[in-house]
Amino acid sequence: MSHPRWVLTTCILASSLSFIDGSVVNVGLAAIGASFHAGASDLQWLINAYLLPLGALLLLGGAAGDRFGRRRLLVIGTGLFAAASLGCALAPGLPWMFAGRAVQGVGAALLLPSSLAILGANFDGEAKGRAIGIWAAMGAVMGAVGPVLGGWLIDHVGWAAIFLINLPPALGAIVLALLFVQDDRSEAGAPALDMLGGALATAGLGALTWSLTIGSGRAGWTAMAFALLAVGVALLLAFLAAEKVRKARAMMPLALFASRDFVGLTILTLLLYGALGALMVLVPYVLIKAGGYSSTDAGAALLPFAAILAFASPVMGGIAGRIGPRVPLTLGPLIVAAGFVLLLRVDTQSNYWTAMFPAILVMSIGMAAAVAPLTTAVLSSVDRSHTGAASGLNSAVARTAGMMATALLGGVLGLTGPALMGGFHATALVCAMACLGASAGAFFLIGARVR
């Protein structure tokens, strides 16, 4: 291959859109909510309108890239994301904002699996490991810098700027992809896309998320909430039935769950990333609304988390390779749980360095112990023919977990003053228990050596 550096740069620029947007909008919740006079459920949908199509269509996006060409899907997905970002920046009201966020999620579902697949197809051996390592490290850097830059833009320019910063990297990724990335459409005879599965998963998760959003808000569990819950469960059961019929051609092959290790890893991912999703939404929001922080300071509050994760994850990956994933995947969530307990020390008068920072530090160490071993274990828990589906499904579960966590935060986002801090503490305890469940899932279901 003649342009490996440009291919790597292309994939980093494209995937950075999702890494940045996923963290920046959390910092902007308070400002966007004030601008549109949004309620708690509106703030939840600012996050979930993006996470819903991303989580539901991630597997379908990967399959589409294999069938129609990864470069083509990367360009289409990046273009969609850029257009939707511009639409969000110019949105005259919340309905337009929700629509833009949903299109961003569709674009991310197309570009993310394609960017990683392009790296896998264009690098071999040691060069592939190095390229993926750089790609992952730059993603962590983008996730760390994004909230700080976004907070500064909100304070000095306005919240619309956090969407406009997506345009330069999107344009760069499209131009570089067209110049330096070869398209690689799959051979004739590739299985048709699982459109029915994608539609059922999206509709089912949408109804389930809507029901949780209503149930966790001021209205509580009304008849509408219960009806949506029933519809969501029915649609997801229909999705499982459709996947069973399609067997190996399904977007979520049920054969994956024949592996006890994979079941344990999926449970761990759901609980651990659900807790992490709640943390990423609530910490900036509470610091701004209850602690009086500026958007810049709130964005910087989580900077140590991303920095430690970026530097410590490769080390833990090497350790897990020597001792197996069970020990780090059991201990990591336990350490994260301890960090959530430390959040109970935070109040409206707390100093960041003596109250919030120790909790963030402990949680970042726990996540660093779990993230790299989790990724490696997922790929090792199934046979070689299912590694792509296993990786994609694990990523989809992580996004879905964040979406469900956000849907359950309505009762907290609707609070103000001391009550908001009380809700924050209650959420921290629930997240700590979720992390304990993740640890138990790893200990009892994951083997000492995942094969």
- The CATH number assigned to the domain holding 26 equals 1.20.1250.20
In DSSP notation, 318-343 reads: HHHHHH-SHHHHHHHHHHHHHHHHHG
Question: Which tokens is 31 given?
Answer: 């400002």
Judge whether 189 lies within some domain: no
Q: Are residues 206 and 106 in the same domain?
A: no
Q: Are residues 76 and 171 in the same domain?
A: yes
Q: Are residues 223 and 240 in the same domain?
A: yes
State the pLDDT at residue 190: 58
Judge whether 34 lies within some domain: yes
Q: Are residues 79 and 154 in the same domain?
A: yes
**How far is CA 300 from each of CA 31, 38, 295, rounded to the nearest angstrom?**
16, 24, 9
Judge whether 358 lies within some domain: yes
How far apart (Å, rounded) are the C-alpha atoms in residues 188 and 166? 36
State the pLDDT at residue 385: 63
Q: Is the pLDDT of residue 450 over 60?
A: no
Total structural domains within the chain: 3
Q: Are residues 177 and 243 in the same domain?
A: no
Q: Domain range holding 134?
A: 1-183
* pLDDT tens-place string over residues 79-108: 999 999 999 999 999 999 999 999 999 999
Q: How many C-beta neighbours within 10 Å does residue 320 have?
A: 24
Binned at pLDDT 50, 70 and 90, residue 387 comes out as low
Q: Are residues 82 and 33 in the same domain?
A: yes
Tell me the mean pLDDT in the region 167-175: 95
Judge whether 263 lies within some domain: yes
Judge whether 10 lies within some domain: yes
Q: Are residues 164 and 269 in the same domain?
A: no
CA neighbor of 375 nearest in space, from 302, 309, 307, 281: 309
* pLDDT tens-place string over residues 400-419: 888 889 888 888 988 888 89
Say which residue, 357 or 386, is predicted with more confidence. Answer: 357
Q: Are residues 22 and 130 in the same domain?
A: yes
Write the CB contacts of 197 (distance below 8 Å, at least 6 apart in sequence). Answer: 60, 239, 242, 243, 246, 250, 251, 252
